[in-house]
């Protein structure tokens, strides 16, 4: 052990903290981090909602997300988008993007519902132990991943460029482009929409009731199965939207196991903000996006982003497992 | 046993008892019959049967049985070695998942650490001090135990799903570090990893292309590990693991230092994983960062769950099956992860205890006690009245 450690230290430079580089690029790192964070937050909401209602980590949610990403790529290629920037009017592009978004949302929602029916419902009917849910979800996650693998192969889908980002704002030397603005605003609007939906509507009240006490909620006439399906549906819809933004941001990132790392990061975001808490998912997502990006600039390699996120996950769980905002979907007041 | 519970306890127990009977009825008749016969044998008879089975298993690649063989698709001795190394890794994971009930999704991390230890200390590509290959096996175990404890200390306070996610993260961190840290040579990896000494007719016995000696070595190690694990299971440590698996809070309340024993389980599992990693590195002779993805972790988990969580024979058989099927049915090899994903779901729905289920003397004793209590003659009919009566007697004494 000792000689291993010393050999690495003698080799020296495998880890170095480049603070100057980070501070020089603080502005872009923050903006880009927020953009990724918005995507994490949208996916994180799927984890949070299911956790709030069923008290389970939906391990297959990352595959719900990647199915949406495949739908985006297929739709856009079908519409004629390719690796080069299309020469279309902004309105035409916006129309195409909305079409792709709708396709992704439908596909993701369908996959989410399928996972619920196949991997969760039969276990619920049999009153299985908690570990069984996790293992069957892992099974579902693997099955979906390798369906894509066998269908599309081990290479990433060819890149699809939607539009060339144009700088819009300049805040103290930091340029904010149209793409970043679109993603963050759209994500925040969606999150606020879901938050209000859970707080104000009848179905939202049902979700909160089941989260608080499933048995009593059932006695009070809440249809638990319907609520659970609604939860998976909302999570799937948001994952579909996140998939569009992800393809926008990482055009060549659609690969059969591409959902895995993003899923872990989204889960970390959910835990960071307080799993089961919708506003926590937004906060955790944005924070984690920034932390990961700072880590990348500080340590100088994109691969470090993932390591930083995992370390953040461990630290959060150790120090404050309840997350920043605390975890309770049930305590949300209307 | 819950004899001192509130009166409701009796009803619940009767219900549980009924469930158990249903469970018995649902069991396949064939397996149940074999199990009954096996339990009826004397201890020495069991050992005799096991010894015969062990000898047959030991010489499997030499016998090369016609239907079982994986040829011409895959070289049978190599397929056998693959089965053995999977079985060894599954055995290690079954300590963590099956015995102590800690879901570890980053087990491949330990496997990777073991492989890299063998590579770093024996490969010609490594600038480290070179030691004989056989010394790297205990060294790999020591180093992985250190890693297991390093991972365990911060994370073992977590439960269930959270622990699963964190260990998953650990496995990924190990893989990412293998790519990032220059000393581990990323994708280039290490070649010419050492092998046990010995020559026959001027040729090396432990050769990369010949699976038979490697298989025999691994099977011998599996047998030793199983004997040691059996002793551990019957000791205080094993009972603590079962207590933690069944109900962690209750175990803590009854004075079991749960953290300590969870760390024990993690360390033991890690050591076996590291050992199998070092053997794997020796046989293949090449290690790089591509061999340790999460998918492998999931296959190990599938092996443990398939064989029966908490049963070491089950883990060994599960590990062997998981590696055998894609080698034997070469047509389905590209679909193996898909197949195992579906198998995991189906198993959890229809037979969550796995093929063999927990074979546990302690729990068996509880079951017999429950049956005995249930069958006690009472004035009112049925076992329910008997169990309801008991708490009152307990209160009086």
Tokens coding A289: 């996006």
pLDDT tens-place string over residues A244-258: 999 998 888 899 888
Token output for B159 = 């439960």
Phi, psi of A28 (to 5 degrees): -55, -40
Instruction: Return the residue in B341, B342, B347, B352 with the most chain A beta carbons within 10 A, the one to mutate for interface testing.
Output: B341
Q: What's the mean pLDDT in A270-286? A: 88
Sign of the four-CA dihedral A310, A314, A315, A319: positive
Window B:294-313, CB contacts with A under 8 Å = 294-295, 298, 301, 305
Identify whether the C-beta of residue A169 lies closer than 8 Å to the C-beta of residue A31.
no
- Within a domain: B216: yes
- What does pLDDT average to over chain A? 86
With a cut of 80, say whether residue B92 has pLDDT above it.
yes
Q: Kindly list the structural domains of chain A, giving each domain's residue range(s) and its CATH number in brackets, ordered by start.
A: 4-331 (1.10.3470)
The percentage of chain A sitting over the pLDDT mark of 70, rounded to a whole number, equals: 93
In a domain, B339, yes or no: no
Question: Residue A313's beta-bridge partner residues?
Answer: none
How far is the CA of B351 from the CAs of A129, B20, B306, in angstroms?
Answer: 12, 14, 9
What is the C-alpha R_g of chain B? 23
Question: Where are any strands of DSSP class E within chain A?
Answer: 167-171, 174-177
More confident residue, A20 or B360: A20
d(CA A184, CA A162): 17
> Residue B342: its chain A contacts at CB < 8 A?
139, 143
Partners of B287 in beta bridges: B190
Token pair 């977590």: residue: B158
pTM of the model: 0.81
Tell me the per-residue pLDDT of B157-192, one tens digit each, with 9 for 90 and over: 887 778 888 888 888 888 888 888 888 887 888 888
Beta carbons of A143 and B338 less than 8 Å apart: yes
pLDDT in tens, B127-142: 888 888 899 999 999 9
Between A319 and B316, the more confident residue is B316
Q: Is B171 within a domain?
A: yes
Residue B340 lies in a domain: no
How far is residue B238 CA from its own chain's centroid?
Answer: 14
Instruction: Check B168 against A131: CB less than 8 A apart.
Output: no
Give contacts of A 150-169 with B, CB under 8 A. 150
Per the CB < 8 Å rule, is A136 touching B348? Answer: yes
Judge whether A110 is closer than 8 Å to chain B, CB to CB: no
Report CA A212 to chain centroid distance, whole Å: 25
Q: Specify if B338 maps to a domain.
A: no
Which of A317, A320, A327 to mutate: most B Cβ within 10 Å?
A317
B234 inside domain = yes
Chain A: closest CA distance from residue B42 (Å) = 35
Q: Please judge whether B341 and A140 are an interchain contact, meaning their C-beta atoms are less than 8 angstroms apart.
A: yes
Between residues B299 and B365, the one the model is more confident about = B299
Lowest mean per-residue pLDDT among A53-67, B25-39, B232-246: B25-39
Nearest-Cα residue of chain A relative to residue B145 = A1
* pLDDT at residue A334 tops 50: no
Residue of B nearest to A267 (CA): B165
Does the beta carbon of A14 lie under 8 angstroms from any beta carbon of chain B? yes
- How many domains, in total, are found in chain B? 1
Could you report the predicted ipTM of this complex, rounded to two decimals? 0.85
Residue B382 lies in a domain: no
**Residue B184 domain-assigned (yes or no):** yes
Asked if omega into A161 is within 30° of 0 (cis), the reply is no
DSSP letter assigned to residue B297: H
Contact B160 A134 (CB under 8 A): yes
pLDDT at position B385 is 40
Q: Do B165 and A313 touch (CB under 8 A)?
A: yes
B343 inside 8 A of chain A by CB: yes
- CA distance linking residue B84 with residue B366, whole number of Å: 34
Q: Is the CB of A310 less than 8 angstroms away from the CB of B183?
A: no
Query: Which chain B residue has its CA at the smallest distance from A2's CA?
Result: B143
Q: Are the beta carbons of B165 and A264 separated by less than 8 Å? A: yes
User: What's the domain range around B213?
Assistant: 76-291
Q: Which tokens sit at B325?
A: 């099927």
pLDDT-above-70 percentage for chain B = 83
């Amino acid at each position: 052990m000792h000689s291993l450690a010393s050999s690495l230290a003698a080799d020296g430079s495998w880890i170095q903290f480049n603070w100057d580089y980070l501070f020089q690029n603080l502005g872009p790192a923050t903006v880009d981090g927020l953009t990724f964070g918005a995507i994490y937050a949208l996916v994180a909401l799927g984890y949070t909602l299911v956790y709030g209602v069923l008290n389970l980590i939906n391990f297959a949610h990352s595959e719900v997300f990647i199915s949406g990403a495949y739908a985006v790529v297929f739709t856009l290629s079908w519409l004629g988008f390719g690796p080069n920037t299309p020469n279309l009017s902004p309105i035409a592009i916006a129309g195409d993007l909305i079409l792709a978004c709708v396709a992704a949302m439908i596909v993701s929602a369908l996959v989410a519902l399928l996972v619920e029916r196949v991997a969760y419902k039969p276990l619920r009917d049999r009153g299985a132990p908690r570990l069984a849910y996790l293992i069957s979800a892992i099974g579902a996650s693997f099955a979906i991943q390798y369906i894509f693998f066998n269908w599309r192969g081990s290479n990433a889908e060819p890149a699809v460029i939607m539009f060339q980002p144009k700088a819009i704002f300049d805040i103290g030397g930091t340029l904010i482009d149209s793409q970043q603005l679109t993603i963050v605003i759209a994500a925040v609007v969606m999150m606020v929409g879901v938050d209000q939906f859970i707080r104000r509507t009848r179905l939202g009240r049902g979700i909160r009731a089941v989260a608080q006490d499933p048995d009593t909620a059932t006695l009070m006439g809440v249809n638990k199965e319907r609520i659970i399906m609604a939860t998976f549906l909302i999570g799937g819809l948001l994952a579909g939207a996140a998939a569009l933004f992800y393809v926008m941001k990482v055009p060549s990132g659609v690969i059969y196991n591409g959902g895995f790392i993003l899923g872990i990061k989204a889960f970390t975001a959910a835990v960071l903000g307080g799993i089961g808490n919708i506003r926590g998912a937004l906060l955790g997502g944005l924070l984690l996006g920034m932390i990961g990006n700072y880590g990348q600039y500080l340590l100088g390699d994109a691969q470090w982003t993932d390591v930083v996120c995992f370390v953040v996950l461990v630290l959060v769980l150790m120090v404050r497992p309840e997350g920043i905002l605390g975890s309770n979907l049930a305590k949300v007041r209307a | 046993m819950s004899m001192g519970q509130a009166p409701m306890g009796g009803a619940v127990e009767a219900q549980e008892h009924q469930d158990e009977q249903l469970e018995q009825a649902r069991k396949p008749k064939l397996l149940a019959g074999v199990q009954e016969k096996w339990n009826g044998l004397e201890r020495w008879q069991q050992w005799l049967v096991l010894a015969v089975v062990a000898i047959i298993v030991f010489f499997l690649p030499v016998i090369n049985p016609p239907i079982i063989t994986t040829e011409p698709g895959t070289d049978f001795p190599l397929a056998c070695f693959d089965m053995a190394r999977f079985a060894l890794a599954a055995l290690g994971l079954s300590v963590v998942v099956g015995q102590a009930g800690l879901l570890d999704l980053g087990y491949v991390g330990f496997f990777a650490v073991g492989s890299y230890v063998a590579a770093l200390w024996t490969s010609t590509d490594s600038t480290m001090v070179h030691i004989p290959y056989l010394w790297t096996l205990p060294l790999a175990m020591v180093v992985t135990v250190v890693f297991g404890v390093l991972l365990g200390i911060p994370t073992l306070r977590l439960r269930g799903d959270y622990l699963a996610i964190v260990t998953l993260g650990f496995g990924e961190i190990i893989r990412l570090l293998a790519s990032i840290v220059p000393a581990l040579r990323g994708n280039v990896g290490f070649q010419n990893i050492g092998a046990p000494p010995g020559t026959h007719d001027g040729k090396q016995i432990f050769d990369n292309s010949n699976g038979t000696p490697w298989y025999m070595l691994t099977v011998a190690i599996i047998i030793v590990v199983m004997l040691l694990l059996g002793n551990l299971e019957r000791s205080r440590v094993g009972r603590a693991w079962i207590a933690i698996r069944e109900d962690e809070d209750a175990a803590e309340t009854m004075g079991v230092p749960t953290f300590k024993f969870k760390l024990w389980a993690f360390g033991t599992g890690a050591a076996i994983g590291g050992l199998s990693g070092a053997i794997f590195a020796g046989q293949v002779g090449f290690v790089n960062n591509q061999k340790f993805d999460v998918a492998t972790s999931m296959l190990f988990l599938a092996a443990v769950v398939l064989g029966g969580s908490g049963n070491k024979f089950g883990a060994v058989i599960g590990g062997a099956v998981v590696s055998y099927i894609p080698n034997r049915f070469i047509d389905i090899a590209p679909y193996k992860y898909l197949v195992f994903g579906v198998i995991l779901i189906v198993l959890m729905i229809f037979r969550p205890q796995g093929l063999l289920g927990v074979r546990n003397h302690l729990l068996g004793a509880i079951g017999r006690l429950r049956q005995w209590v249930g069958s006690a003659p009472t004035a009112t009919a049925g076992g329910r009245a008997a169990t309801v009566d008991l708490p009152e007697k307990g209160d009086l004494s």
